Structure 1
Amino acid sequence: MSSILLALQFFTVIPVNKNLPMEKRSITGMYSIFPFIGAGIGAIACLVLYFDWSALMTAFCIVLVGVVLSGGLHMDGFIDTSDAFFSYKDRLKRFEILDDPRVGAFGVMAVVFLVIGKVIIVAEVISAESFHWIFVMLIPFFSRATLVLLFSITNTAKTSGLAYYFKGKMNANVVIVAAACHFFIGLGLVGWMTNWMIAVTMAAMLVAFICIFRSWVLKNFGGVTGDLLGASVEFLEVVLWLTLLLLLS
Structure 2
Amino acid sequence: MDEIKAFILSLQFMTRIPVNVQIDVSKNDFHRMVKYFPFVGGLIGTVVSLMFYASKNIFPREIAITIALASSYILTGAMHIDGFADTFDGLFSNRSRDRMLEIMRDSRLGTNGVLALVFLIILKILFLTDINGNLIYSTLILMPLIGRFSIILAAYASKSARGGEGLGGLIIGKISIVELILSLLFTSFVGMIFVHFTVLLKLLVISSIVTYLITKYISMRIGGMTGDTLGAVNEFAELVIAVSMYFLSITKV
TM-score, structure 1 as length reference:
0.88
Separation (CA, whole Å) in 2 of partners of 1:6 and 1:155: 22
> By how many angstroms is 1:185 displaced?
2.4
Aligned to 1:6: 9
Output the CA distance in 1 between the equivalents of 2:204 and 2:21. Answer: 38
Matched, 1:165 2:170: yes
- Structure 2 equivalent of residue 46 of structure 1: 49
Partners of 1:74 and 1:233 within 8 A in 2: yes
Kept in 2: contact 1:35–1:141 (CA 8 A) = yes
Aligned-partner Cα distance in 2 for 1:209–1:42: 21
Pick one of 94, 97, 100 that aligns with 1:88: 94
Aligned partner of residue 154 in structure 1, secondary structure? coil
Pick from 36, 51, 55 the counterpart of residue 33 of structure 1: 36
Given the superposition, is the C-alpha separation of residues 171 and 86 from structure 1 closer, same or farther in structure 2, using an over 3 Å criterion? closer
The aligned residue for residue 138 of structure 2 is 134
- String of CA shifts for 1:206-225, please: whole Å, max 9, x gaps: 23212211221221121110
CA RMSD of aligned residues (A): 2.2
**CA 1:133–1:94: 2 relative to 1, 3 Å:** same
In structure 2, distance between residues paired with 1:166 and 1:25: 9
In the alignment of these two chains, the number of paired residues is 243
What residue is the counterpart of 2:159 in the other structure? 155
CA distance in 1, matches of 2:27, 2:109: 34
Distance in 2, Cα, partners of 1:219 & 1:20: 36
Question: Counterpart of 1:150 in structure 2: which amino acid?
Answer: A
Summarize the Cα distance change of 1:180–1:161 in structure 2 as closer, same or farther, 3 Å threshold: same
Aligned to 2:65: 59
* 1:13 Cα offset (Å): 1.0
- What are the Cα deviations for residues 5-32 of structure 1, in whole angstroms up to 9, with x where unaligned? 2122221112344442224785244211
How many percent of aligned residue pairs carry the same amino acid?
A: 27
Q: Does the 8 Å CA contact 1:24/1:171 hold for their aligned counterparts?
A: no
Segments of 5+ residues of structure 1 without an aligned counterpart are: none
Supply the distance in 2 between the matched residues of 1:24 and 1:178 (Cα, whole angstroms): 21
Q: Deviation of residue 171 (structure 1)?
A: 4.8
Separation of aligned partners in 1, 2:246 and 2:49? 18
CA distance in 1, matches of 2:200, 2:35: 22
Match of 1:78 in 2: 84
Letter in 1 for 2:143: I
Q: Which amino acid aligns with 1:57?
A: I
Q: Is residue 2:149 matched to residue 1:145? A: yes
Give me the whole-angstrom Cα distance separating, in 1, the residues matched to 2:52 and 2:172.
Answer: 38
| Matched letter for residue 16 of structure 2 | V
* SS of 1:41 mapped into structure 2: helix
> How many angstroms apart in 1 are the aligned matches of 2:160 and 2:183?
19
Runs of 4+, deviation exceeding 6 Å: none
Query: Per the alignment, do residues 221 and 190 of structure 1 end up closer, same or farther by CA in structure 2, a change over 3 Å counting?
Result: farther
Displacement, 1:167? 4.3
Q: CA 1:15 to 1:137, structure 2 compared with 1: closer, same or farther past 3 Å?
A: same
Instruction: State the one-letter code of the partner of 1:218.
Output: S
